[in-house]
A = this chain, B = another copy of it.
C-alpha cells in the first residue's frame, strides 16, 4: 500500500524539552504518552466477574475486565465498554478503586468498583470463558497480571467501607512496574 517503510529519527522538536520519534519522510512527531487502561472489580452479590483471556499476552489466564481507553468516551464509559466487549456484561460503575502506574509498559491503569446489573455474562471475542466466582473460588495462581491481584486484594481490604482513599501501586512492587 505504502511506497516507503516507516523511518523515525530520535530528535528534540522545536519548543520541546525531550527527545521524540520524528519521521524522516514527513516530520511527523510521534508524541508517546502513557496509555490509559480502564477496568473494574465487578460484583454480582458475593461473586466477582473474571474473564479467561483469548488473546496474548497471558492467553489462557484469568483477568478482570479491562482494556485501553478509546477517544470519545469517559473513563467510566470505557470501563463499562470493556466489560461489555469481554464478558457481554452490563456494569454500573460505582467509584474509583485504584490508579496504578506501570512505566515499564507505559500504562496507567484506572480500576473501578462496579456492580453487574444482571448475572447474564458470556464470553466476548477476547475471552474463551467468563465466570462469576466467590472470593474463595478466585484462581489466584492463574491470574494474568500482578495488577489483577492488587485490585482484588485492595478491594477486599476496604470491603464494606463507605469511603476510602483510592489505592496506588502497592509498596514493594517497583520490580514489577519499573525498569
Interface residues of A (CB under 8 A from B): 1-7, 18, 23-28, 30, 32-36, 68-77, 95-96, 99, 101, 103, 106, 108, 110, 161, 163-166, 168-169, 177
Q: Does B27 lie within 8 Å of A6, measured CB to CB? A: yes
Copies of the protein in its oligomer: 2
Residues of A contacting B: mostly: loop
Give the top 10 A-B pairs by smallest Cβ distance, nearest first: A74-B101, A6-B26, A2-B27, A95-B165, A163-B163, A6-B28, A4-B25, A4-B26, A72-B103, A33-B35
Contacts of A165 in B (CB 8 A): 95-96, 163-164
Q: Does A2 lie within 8 Å of B18, measured CB to CB? A: no
**A7 → chain B, closest Cβ, in Å?**
7
Q: A2-B26, A27-B6, A28-B6 are in contact. Are A101 and B72 (CB under 8 A)?
A: no
Q: A101-B76, A163-B164 are in contact. Are A6 and B33 (CB under 8 A)?
A: no
